[in-house]
Amino acid sequence: MSLLLAAEAHFATEGGFFVDTAGIMLILPFLAFGAILAFGKKLPNQGGEIAVAALAINCIWAVTLFIQNMVSPVVTERVIEIGRIGSNLSFELGWVVDGLSVMMYFLVNVVGLLVFIYALGYMHGDRRVPWFFAAFSLFAGAMLILVAAPNLIQLILGWEGVGLASYFLIGFYWEDMANVKAGNKAFMVNKLADVGLLLGAAILGVVMGTFSFSEMEHLAVSGDTALAGVAVVAGLLLFFGAMGKSAQFPLHIWLPDAMAGPTPVSALMHAATMVTGGIYLMARTFPLFQNLATDARTLMVVIGTITLFGIGFLALVADDIKKVLAYSTVSQLGYMMTAVAAGGYTAGVFHLFTHAFFKALLFLGAGSVIHAVHSNNMSDMGGLKKHMPTTYWTFVIGSLALAGIFPLAGFWSKDEILVTLGHEGWTTVMWIAIAGAFVTAFYMARAIALTFHGTYKGHGHPHESPPVMTRPLIALAIPSVLFGLLNIPGVEWPGIGNFTQWLGVRGVAMGDHHAEGIDFFVAGVGLVAGILGLLLGWMIFSKDRETQQARDRFEVPLLYPLLRRGYYLDDVADGVTYVTMGPLARFANWTNTYIFDGIVNAAGGLTMLLGRFVYNGLDQRGVDGIVHGLTAATDGAGTVMRKWQSGRVQQYAAAFVGGAIVLAAVFMFVI
């Protein structure tokens, strides 16, 4: 079934071949998953070539749709009804092609392909390579199911698939118990948050009478105030689900531990899959929050602001280079969530778009370093610039983009968020976000200095990574520099427009603010904050010392000890876990053993007594006694009657005559 939503967007078209067959992108990663499990061990790259081929084919569709949406915008749904829930709710599977989904198809497949190619080199010679690429394909496929979803049911299927695949990949090196615990922690925190998603989806489906995003959008913009109260509750529940997936405070605690998985997993997870799922959910349901669940947005902004500012500080004290980037991701997700919650649909999603490229670049750069020095810790690094020039320069480009330095991509997307916050009346939040940009630049200057400058503090002989790993770095560095130009405020590129226009191709208008020109004051202040952070970080950490510990000497009293304990949030989580697994678990076990089991055992004993009474008393002595008595009486009567059936004609004649005499006598003397 095809549903064209162009009635509300008259400039949009149905598309054509690539729109009609976009479902191929959803299928291929799962086919690759099965093929790798079946044949991976027999292939030269142990299945890696199958995974790369699947995403390479997907890229044909993703890039074509992206270009097509620039030139001739597309708004189309393709769905197949699988079944019905009650009389009104239907369960459908399919795919959506509109501005938001096309952007995500592009990110997942293009960034994913580069990460998959990189993984061919990074995972070479590793253990269980076929299983890695199989699970990696499952990871990408589940994310595509999520972003293609025309309704909440399919989104939840992809959502849970991403969570399952991430569990496999985070705990990939399961021989180390710390990795197992990291996988379990990610899985359990996300399952806790998923309760909110499931409840919110159920409420929306029942109250609105549909799970379809397009139908929900139309109901949201219709202005039915009777739905507002329920929409706020459902919206907050959806947001709680997004908090887990997109690592918002205080549910961010799983993400740094997730660095236990192989570095390509971290790159894809932080750039185009998993953690972007929560932001995508908020963007996909944006009309609901913009028109009905408006009262929920204040809490969302508060949580996002705490995340963007507070969690970024944790990167200041991290020694593991991947954890520095992980805390950075959490902070940037806070920027995205704050922007969307404040009413900046385009601002939040544009930062998601640019961030995907430079954060994938940074993680792959970190992986290149780890591959060379066999350590995640910056205390074992230093002086790598001369040994790894390609990794160094691409890492610097990614860091400058993350810090929001002009004219790189991060400058434009960060500026879009700042301007939106100011326009929507969140001026205080805007200044907090500017301060967060300073912190971001500061810890990235620290990471560059400790990793690439000074003298090498590790062991072994560092070397540049092979071309299969460095070429994806170069490929990601290019959009990290240029893609911010796609959405310069007030600029429309001839024949294609700009990112704001492409993203706004939806079934209904989003209604968010779009600046008509550059706000030079906000842009200048944001840029100055980034430059000052870089300069201060460089001044403090660039000077070499005998050890990295001596070099990394900067300390803010009271603050840094608090940061090293992660604001004690992990301790709180451990306490909750202890209570859950200790006293609470023992109480639950006692209740189960002595109360529930007691009730069940008593009911079972009573049932056994009743069974014996029914069997021995009623059945054996009652029902069976009557049956046996009737059988004996019938047998006796048969024995007597048998004597009357001798077969002798003389006896029958005598009996006949005797009977006749008796009847005659009765008639004569009685009657």
Q: How far apart are CA 328 and CA 175, in angstroms?
A: 28
Residues in a beta bridge with 493: 497
Which amino acid would we find at residue 447? A
Report pLDDT for 581.
60
Pick the closest to residue 68 from 114, 17, 109 (CA basis): 17
Report pLDDT for 646.
66
Q: Token digits for 327?
A: 């805390």
Report pLDDT for 89.
79
pLDDT averaged over 10-residue windows placed end to end, the chain, 671 residues = 35 71 94 94 92 96 93 88 78 91 95 95 89 94 95 94 93 87 89 93 90 90 78 94 92 89 90 90 93 92 95 93 94 95 94 96 95 91 93 97 95 95 94 96 96 89 92 96 93 90 87 87 95 96 89 89 88 72 70 83 87 77 77 77 67 76 76 59
Q: How far apart are CA 69 and CA 540, in angstroms?
A: 47
**SS3 label, residue 390:** helix
Q: How many CB atoms lie within 10 A of CB 68?
A: 18
> Rounded to whole angstroms, what are the CA distances from 273 to 268, 500, 655?
6, 22, 105
Judged on CB neighbours under 10 Å (0-12, 13-18, 19+), 650 is exposed
Q: At what angle do helices 409-423 and 520-541 cross, to 10 degrees?
A: 130
- Tell me the per-residue pLDDT of 101-118, one tens digit each, with 9 for 90 and over: 999 999 999 999 999 999
Domain edges within the chain: 583-670
Pick the closest to residue 237 from 268, 202, 263 (CA basis): 202
Q: CA 645 from chain center: how many Å?
A: 90
Report pLDDT for 9.
37
Q: How far apart are CA 52 and CA 58, in angstroms?
A: 10
Is the CB of residue 230 less than 8 Å from the CB of residue 295? no
Report pLDDT for 156.
95
| Predicted TM-score (pTM) of this structure | 0.85
Report pLDDT for 10.
35
State how beta strands 76-85 and 2-4 pair.
antiparallel
Q: Backbone phi, then psi, for 398, in 5-degree steps?
A: -60, -40
Is the CB of residue 234 less than 8 Å from the CB of residue 289? no
Report pLDDT for 580.
63
Using the Cα atoms of residue 168, residue 173, residue 177 and residue 179 in order, give the sign of their dihedral: negative
Alpha helices in 378-508 (DSSP H): 389-402, 409-423, 427-452, 467-482, 499-503
Which amino acid would we find at residue 461? H
